[in-house]
């Protein structure tokens, strides 16, 4: 090999060594990453809105940010199971929104933290473990977006005020217009009745599954905003290709009637 050929070979080798290689993702892997984020989000909401006493949470770290997690094993298990059920239903491509609904002791919904996932792709089940094409996502970039969203959830309480004592919560999903509610003997979901718009757009949580109040609202769309509807508080728009989503908080009309705290 002469000097010119050696220089060309060295240059080509150097180019190959410095070319960045983007990670390959399957849709199943991306859903698993999103499930982790949802679990952290739910624990953050429960702590920030004082659904359980502050001392029942311990300080952890996720996405390079301090977060709270419940110490109670049954709460942790319930949240994991509920998020798992949400993600399994998302595989069908029929889920529009996932909501954490905060409910008064008299079973009246007061707030709803909404994760709008209607922009997630609809990928056939047979292809969800295959590499996605043309996806430029790096895990550090995803974690940074999740971190910002958790920060927003962690600082929303001053905007929302204090909830009454003894509130509880549930997790609901809303389906696309053409989807059927996932019912049947093996389903983890129980249909929840939708309320007339003029009464209150937040769902009345009256049904319970075997492992808690996990409800599903079929064919629900957010109606046009007007004076009859809840207060709408946008928190964050996250753009991450196939994992793009929006987060906002709704405050019901019933909450406006509560005594000032």
- pLDDT value of residue 232: 86
- Would you say the pTM of this structure is higher than 0.95? no
Residue 98 to residues 41, 112, 203, 223: CA-CA distances in angstroms?
12, 10, 12, 17
Which letter does DSSP use for residue 212 in this model? B
Q: Please choose, from the candidates 186, 205, 181, 172, the residue with its C-alpha nearest in 3D space to the C-alpha of residue 94.
A: 181
What are the pLDDT digits (tens) for 18-43?
555 657 889 999 999 999 999 999 99
pLDDT of residue 209: 32
Q: What letter does residue 129 receive in the DSSP assignment?
A: T
- Nearest residue to 205 (alpha-carbon basis) of 216, 219, 196: 216
Regarding beta strands 190-191 and 214-217, do their DSSP bridges make them parallel or antiparallel, or are they unpaired? parallel
pLDDT tens-digit readout, 48-63: 999 999 999 999 999 9
Contact 160, 49 (CB under 8 A): yes
Separation between Cα atoms, residue 17 and residue 13, nearest integer Å: 6
Query: How do beta strands 214-217 and 168-175 pair?
Result: parallel
Q: Which two tokens mark 31? A: 């859903």
pLDDT digits (tens, 9 = 90+) for 112-155: 999 999 999 899 999 999 998 878 889 999 999 999 999 999 99
CATH fold label, 22-256: Cell Cycle, Spindle Assembly Checkpoint Protein; Chain A (3.30.900)
Tell me which residue of 187, 247, 176 sits closest to 217, measured CA to CA: 176
* 188-201: pLDDT as tens digits: 666 665 544 433 44
In 3D space, the residue among 259, 231, 193, 216 whose CA is nearest the CA of residue 94 turns out to be: 216
For the chain, counts of helices (H) and of strands (E): 6, 9
- Domain spans of the chain? 22-256
Give 2's pLDDT tier (boundaries 50, 70, 90): low
Backbone angles phi, psi at 148, to 5 degrees: -60, -40
Quick check: 124 and 195 in contact, CB under 8 A? no
């Amino acid at each position: 090999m002469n000097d010119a050929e050696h220089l060309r070979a060295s240059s080509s080798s150097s180019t190959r060594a410095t070319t960045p290689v983007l990670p390959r993702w399957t849709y199943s892997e991306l859903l698993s990453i999103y499930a982790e984020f949802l679990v952290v989000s739910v624990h953050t909401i429960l702590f920030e809105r004082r659904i359980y006493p502050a001392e029942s949470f311990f300080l952890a770290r996720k996405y390079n940010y301090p977060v709270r997690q419940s110490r109670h094993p049954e709460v942790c298990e319930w949240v994991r199971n509920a998020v798992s059920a949400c993600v399994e239903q998302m595989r069908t491509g029929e889920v529009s929104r996932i909501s954490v609904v905060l409910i008064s002791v008299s079973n009246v919904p007061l707030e709803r933290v909404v994760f709008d996932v209607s922009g997630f792709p609809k990928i056939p089940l047979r292809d969800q473990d295959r590499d996605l094409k043309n996806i430029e996502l790096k895990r550090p970039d995803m974690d940074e977006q999740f971190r910002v969203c958790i920060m927003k959830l962690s600082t929303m309480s001053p905007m929302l005020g204090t909830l009454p004592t003894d509130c509880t919560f549930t997790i609901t999903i809303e389906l696309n217009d053409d989807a059927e509610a996932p019912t049947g003997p093996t389903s983890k979901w129980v249909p929840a009745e939708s309320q007339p718009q003029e009464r209150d757009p937040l769902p009345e949580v009256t049904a319970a599954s075997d492992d808690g109040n996990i409800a599903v609202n079929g064919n629900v769309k957010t109606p046009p905003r007007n004076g009859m509807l809840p207060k709408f508080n946008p928190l964050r728009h996250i753009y991450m290709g196939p994992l793009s989503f929006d987060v906002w908080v709704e405050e019901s009309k019933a909450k406006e009637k509560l005594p000032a705290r």
